[in-house]
Amino acid sequence: MKPVESMTGLKNDLGPGTVHFNLNADGVATLTLDRPHKLNALSLELLAMLEASLKEIEESDARVLVLRTTGDRAFCVGADIAQFSAFTPVQMWKTWIKEGHRIYRQLANLSQPTIAVIDGPALGGGLELALACDFRVAGPSASFGLPEVGIGTIPGWGGTERLTKLVGEGRAKHLILTGRRITSDTALAWGLVTETADADSLEESVHALVGDLLRGAPIAQQTAKQLIHAASQGADSALLEAIASGFTTATADFRTGMSSFQEKKPAVFTGR
């Protein structure tokens, strides 16, 4: 696999920020949202850059996506209030909310497993961004909140749905209706994050999770991810699992996996 590096956007001074994309030889894609002077607040321009990078990853040989942000003050504080506060109600309806939903859905539906690395506040649209990922690994300075009611609005990029699915209706109401923040330890206890780590072991934890994902068969992983999403929407799992099992057992990776299991050696999957 050929490593890929690209950068979409403007130089990160006082502009809308930049999205950096890297794909290494192991198939690990890294997306980094780079707007630290605005605490990685999300503008329409930055969302468009994210969308372009996600399309590139979907069409690549990437096995795993790791989503990061820059700076040491925040993971992402959500939507760029200076931008969206200037919108009319119709513009909010037609542009701001619709674009955020569409791009976050693109992230959630990405074929590859996705990991958000969170070390700092993840608030509003920043938390919704992390919720659109499959895994969330939180460092000691991470905190989580949907404070939109404090400015007279509501979470608008999927937070009410995705948070409720993860933590339940009562805890979702606790966060959304009060605007409170919770720590990474509370988020772990609630099931909001996948795992926590201290400052010295955060990268080690991310690396270990990536390693576990790389050891799986990519077609099986991506198929299973689609089945989980379908089940959460009420699909008939018995029917879909029967079809998907037939499909996956027809792959070269299945033959590799069975052979490696019988020979008691690690499998090397090719995604074929």
* pLDDT range class, residue 3, cuts 50, 70, 90: low
Query: What is the Cα 21 distance to its own chain's centre?
Result: 14
Tally of CA atoms within 13 A in the half-sphere of 76 that contains its CB: 27
Q: Are residues 191 and 124 in the same domain?
A: yes
- The CA R_g of the chain, rounded to the nearest whole Å, is 19
Residue numbers of the domain that contains 240: 218-263
pLDDT, mean over the chain: 92
Please check whether residues 157 and 242 belong to one and the same domain: no
On whether both 222 and 118 belong to a single domain, the answer is no
Q: What does the pLDDT look like over 108-162, one tens digit per residue?
A: 999 999 999 999 999 999 999 999 999 999 999 999 999 999 999 999 999 999 9
> Same structural domain for residues 121 and 15?
yes
Specify the CATH number for the domain of residue 119: 3.90.226.10
248 pLDDT higher than 70: yes
Give strand ranges (E) for the chain.
4-9, 18-23, 28-34, 64-69, 114-118, 121-123, 135-138, 143-145, 181-183, 195-196
Active site residue 241: no
Q: Is residue 85 part of a domain?
A: yes
What are the backbone angles phi and psi of residue 85, rounded to the nearest 5°? Answer: -70, -15
| 70 within 8 A of 38, measured Cβ to Cβ | no
Shared domain for 10 and 143, answered yes or no, is: yes
Q: Is the pLDDT reported for residue 222 higher than 60?
A: yes
User: Which of 128, 203, 204, 241 is labelled catalytic?
Assistant: 128
Helix (H, G, I), strand (E, B) or coil at 25: coil
Say which residue the tokens 């993971």 belong to: 75
Q: What is the mean pLDDT of residues 187-203?
A: 97
Look at residue 35 and tell me if it is in a domain. Answer: yes
* Angle separating helix axes 159-167 and 169-178, nearest 10 degrees: 130
- Are 199 and 223 members of one domain? no
**Statement to judge: residues 17 and 143 lie in one domain:** yes
Model pTM score: 0.93
- pLDDT recorded at residue 84: 80
The reply to whether 121 and 256 lie within a common domain is no
Residues 245, 150: one domain?
A: no
With beta carbons less than 8 A apart as the criterion, state whether 54 and 103 touch.
yes
- Which residue is catalytic, options 45, 148, 169, 204? 148
Give the pLDDT of residue 15.
75
Active site residue 59: no
* Residues 252 and 140 reside in one and the same domain: no
Q: Is 271 inside any structural domain?
A: no
pLDDT tens digits, one per residue of 43-98: 999 999 999 999 999 999 999 999 999 999 999 999 998 888 888 888 888 888 89
pLDDT at site 86:
85
* 119 and 244 in a common domain: no
Q: On the CB side of 178, how many CA atoms lie within 13 Å of its CA?
A: 11
Work out how many domains the chain is built from and give that number: 2
